[in-house]
């Protein structure tokens, strides 16, 4: 009996100890959880404060809009303005305007955390050392902030040196930098080097190669296999490698996919061009294939349908498609129509003879020359009078004489 009572007491004691241990263990975890929550809340609060400071700095010091500032802050946070201030000061000291600085920060917000003396200043000094003016430099770099992110020794200097070997003179390299700053972002070894070598093997003169690189650097950096393919197509079309138009044709084919080119050819065919006419137009002015469908259709509709100009004539002078319909083609046609109606110029006058000349030449040849015969010409040309009004005034004049 005594043994049984002792056994029951021992069981109760173990149970009490187990329950106490359970409560002690749970109390530990509860306390630990509250502590973790407190630490998380504190950390989150610090992050929110840091984020809030970053957004405010981007708005107040960099001129970003609240929306742009919030977007930029997603890629970085800082709570000390020392580094960003030093970056902004460096840019301002080197001629960057507030607008240009805002543009750079909006595109590449992480620049604010760069080391201005080690990372940014050497690149600015390099561009200045090769002759880039302060105004050009700030415009180039604000429009292409990635130039400041590239390695000076591994990217910028090698790109400049290679372009110098192709273009030969600093002025042309600088002109290329201004026209197409992204040319300094490409890897010259992978594509441009073999592309230029390929053109030299074909016997292209230095002037033509220089024209390609300085005017169409993006195409000069095209993938080598694609570049060789475009060059082969141009040669098969019969272009002369010794002429600049050879390069113009290459850059067109590199800009257009095969389906897009075929679609453009079909559009011209709908306006009466045969395949030979389209090829002839392309050989005369390759960029006619880069015109938008809308511009082609609008110009063709006026020239062919309204003015009765044979479509074949446009293929002979495709450059007319590049001129403004409202500002050049229509006013000049109106003047010629009046002169033809009065017998002052030939009815079979070539359209190229009055559309292609410069503004000064056209005014001297067709306006000033006939201003005594038709005083209204200048008003027609300037859009202040239409053809019907001229006809009406002519009838009134004849009636008054009778």
**Distance (Å, whole) CA 278 – CA 373:** 41
What is the radius of gyration, based on Cα positions, of the chain? 37
Q: How far is CA 357 from CA 307, 319, 367, 375, in A?
A: 19, 12, 13, 22
What interhelical angle do 2-60 and 66-73 show, nearest 10? 130
Residue 400 has pLDDT above 60, yes or no: no
- In 3D space, the residue among 185, 162, 174, 105 whose CA is nearest the CA of residue 137 turns out to be 174
**Distance (Å, whole) CA 4 – CA 259:** 98
388 phi, psi to nearest 5 deg: -65, -40
DSSP string, 215-266: H-HHHHTS-HHHHHHHHHHHHHTT--TTSHHHHHHHHHHHHS-HHHHHHHHH
| Domain assignment of residue 160, yes or no | yes
330 or 15, greater pLDDT: 330
Residue 174 has pLDDT above 90, yes or no: no
| Domain count for the chain | 1
**Distance (Å, whole) CA 226 – CA 234:** 13
| Domain assignment of residue 187, yes or no | yes
What average pLDDT is seen over the chain? 83
| Domain assignment of residue 158, yes or no | yes
| Domain assignment of residue 304, yes or no | no
**Distance (Å, whole) CA 328 – CA 299:** 11
What pLDDT is attached to residue 389? 56
- Give the DSSP H/E element, type plus range, for residue 57: helix 2-60
pLDDT tens for 207-254 read 999 999 988 988 998 999 999 999 999 999 999 999 999 999 999 999
| Domain assignment of residue 8, yes or no | no
Question: At 301, is the secondary structure helix, strand, or coil?
Answer: helix
Tell me the pLDDT band of 38, cut-offs 50, 70 and 90: very low
**Could you say which DSSP state residue 110 is in?**
G
Angular region, 150: left φ>0, alpha ψ -120 to 50, beta rest: beta
Give me the domain span that covers residue 241: 150-255
pLDDT tens for 117-167 read 999 999 999 999 988 888 899 999 999 898 988 999 989 998 899 888 888
| Domain assignment of residue 171, yes or no | yes
Torsion, Cα of 359, 364, 368, 369 (10° steps) = -140
| Domain assignment of residue 211, yes or no | yes
**Distance (Å, whole) CA 77 – CA 68:** 14
Tell me the pLDDT band of 48, cut-offs 50, 70 and 90: low
Task: Give the sign of the dihedral formed by CA 155, CA 161, CA 165, CA 171.
Answer: positive
Q: Which residues contact 92 (CB under 8 A, 6 or more apart)?
A: 101
Question: At 296, is the secondary structure helix, strand, or coil?
Answer: helix
**Distance (Å, whole) CA 201 – CA 259:** 30
What pLDDT is attached to residue 352? 79
Question: Tokens 């960099």 sit at which residue?
Answer: 62
Task: Give the sign of the dihedral formed by CA 124, CA 127, CA 131, CA 135.
Answer: negative
| Domain assignment of residue 193, yes or no | yes
Question: Tokens 């990635």 sit at which residue?
Answer: 146
């Amino acid at each position: 009996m005594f043994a049984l009572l002792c056994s029951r007491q021992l069981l109760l004691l173990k149970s009490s100890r187990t329950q106490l241990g359970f409560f002690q263990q749970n109390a530990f975890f509860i306390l630990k959880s509250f502590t973790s929550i407190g630490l998380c809340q504190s950390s989150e609060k610090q992050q929110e404060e840091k984020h809030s400071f970053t957004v405010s700095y981007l708005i107040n010091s960099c001129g970003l809009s609240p929306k742009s500032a919030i977007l930029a802050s997603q890629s970085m946070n800082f709570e000390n303005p020392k580094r960003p201030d030093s970056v902004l000061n460096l840019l301002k000291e080197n001629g960057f305007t507030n607008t240009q600085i805002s543009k750079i920060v909006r595109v590449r917000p992480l620049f604010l955390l760069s080391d201005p003396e080690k990372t940014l200043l050497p690149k600015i000094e390099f561009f200045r050392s090769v002759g880039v003016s302060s105004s050009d430099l700030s415009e180039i770099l604000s429009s292409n902030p990635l130039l400041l992110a590239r390695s000076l020794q591994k990217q910028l200097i090698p790109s400049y040196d290679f372009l110098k070997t192709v273009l030969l003179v600093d002025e042309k390299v600088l002109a290329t930098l201004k026209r197409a700053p992204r040319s300094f972002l490409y890897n010259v070894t992978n594509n441009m080097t073999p592309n230029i070598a390929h053109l030299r093997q074909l016997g292209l003169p230095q002037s033509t190669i220089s024209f390609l690189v300085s005017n169409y650097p993006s195409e000069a950096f095209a993938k080598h296999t694609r570049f060789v393919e475009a060059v082969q197509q141009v040669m098969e079309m019969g272009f002369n490698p010794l002429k600049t138009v050879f390069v113009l044709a290459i850059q067109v084919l590199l800009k257009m996919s095969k389906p897009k080119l075929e679609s453009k050819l079909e559009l011209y065919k709908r306006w009466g061009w045969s395949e030979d006419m389209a090829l002839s137009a392309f050989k005369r002015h390759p960029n006619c294939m880069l015109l938008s469908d809308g511009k082609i259709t609008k110009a063709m509709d006026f020239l062919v349908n309204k003015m009765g100009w044979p479509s074949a004539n446009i293929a002979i002078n495709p450059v007319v498609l590049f001129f403004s319909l409202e500002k050049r083609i229509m006013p000049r046609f109106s003047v010629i129509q009046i002169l033809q109606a009065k017998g002052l110029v030939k009815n079979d006058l070539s359209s190229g003879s009055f559309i292609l000349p410069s503004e000064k030449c056209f005014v001297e040849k067709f306006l000033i020359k006939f201003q005594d015969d038709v005083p209204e010409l200048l008003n027609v040309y300037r859009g202040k009078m239409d053809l019907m009004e001229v006809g009406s005034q002519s009838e009134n004049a004849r009636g008054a004489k009778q």
